[in-house]
Amino acid sequence: MVYGGEEALRRQYSIGDEIGHGRFGTVRRCHSNATGEALALKTTPKAPLRDPLDLALAEQEPKLHLLASSPPCSPHLVALHAAFDDADAVHLVVDLCAGGDLLSLLFDAATGALKLADFGSAEWFGDGRRMSGIVGTPYYVAPEVVAGREYGEKVDVWSAGVVLYMMLSGSVPFYGAAAPEIFEAVLRGNVRFPPRAFAGVSPEAKDLMRRMLCKDVSRRFSAEQVLRHPWIASCGGDAVAG
């Protein structure tokens, strides 16, 4: 799956305009020289990655993305077509998703298939292993991560709870003007449902969010419990799980 460096990349793909960028990397349009297929190219330069953890995450992203997309691959996952790695950067060729992000789709009342993308901060859990270190976007990161404690897979349940809250209200549950204020709100963990934003949201949905956004990790739902919750079942639990 890793096919060499930038020289090999440019032999196989024609690279176009930038369509997005993040803290460390950029995303550009590209086309396969063999088939003409329109794709996206994510490039993460290694020079700005002064933290060894950031560099390690960038270099292992192709492997994790490949593992996640192994057959049977979910239709809700951005497919990895090729990876190129050299001394200067990591390049990933992935599906081109031109429909915008989740919130833009919700506000525009558009239709389309949601796809999970960007494994730059991902880690592989297994055998009861715990993790440490602050990794993630402030609005979505779990309180045990912010507190500097070791953590497990329930941090993903917390993050999914934040996404669900945003989908149902159009706002984030823990807000601050800058990262320190956001982290303080996350550590307090006070989940509120303003009547104006949640007027049409059922008690069952609010119950699920409270259980996903529970500051006490021992009481927070697991992913399996989330999928068995009555609100998920009422939305078509099998479809959600798929």
Cβ(94)–Cβ(40) under 8 Å? yes
Domain-located, residue 115: no
pLDDT digits (tens, 9 = 90+) for 132-163: 877 778 999 999 999 999 999 999 999 999 99
Percent of the chain with pLDDT over 90: 50
Q: Write down the mean pLDDT value for the chain.
A: 85
In terms of average pLDDT, the best of 123-127, 192-196, 233-237 is 192-196
Residue of 52 and 158 predicted with greater confidence: 158
Examine the domain organization and report whether 37 and 88 are in the same domain.
Answer: yes
Torsion from C-alpha of 27, 30, 35, 38, nearest 10 degrees: 70
Q: Which pLDDT score is estimated for 242?
A: 47
Examine the domain organization and report whether 152 and 84 are in the same domain.
Answer: no
What DSSP character marks residue 198?
A: S
Positive or negative: CA dihedral 13, 18, 22, 25? positive
Examine the domain organization and report whether 174 and 230 are in the same domain.
Answer: yes
Examine the domain organization and report whether 149 and 236 are in the same domain.
Answer: yes
Q: Could you say which of 95, 120, 148 is where a domain stops?
A: 95
| Cis bond upstream, residue 230 (ω within 30) | no
Q: Which pLDDT score is estimated for 90?
A: 86
Taking the model in full, what pTM does it have? 0.77
Strand, coil or helix: 207: helix
Q: Is 115 annotated as a binding residue?
A: no
| CATH number for 149 | 1.10.510.10
Strand, coil or helix: 20: strand
Instruction: Indicate the pLDDT class of residue 201, thresholds 50, 70 and 90.
Output: very high
Cβ(197)–Cβ(179) under 8 Å? no
Domain-located, residue 217: yes
Q: Which residues of 33-49 are buried (b: 16+ CB within 10 A; e: fewer)?
A: eeeeeebbbbbbebeeb
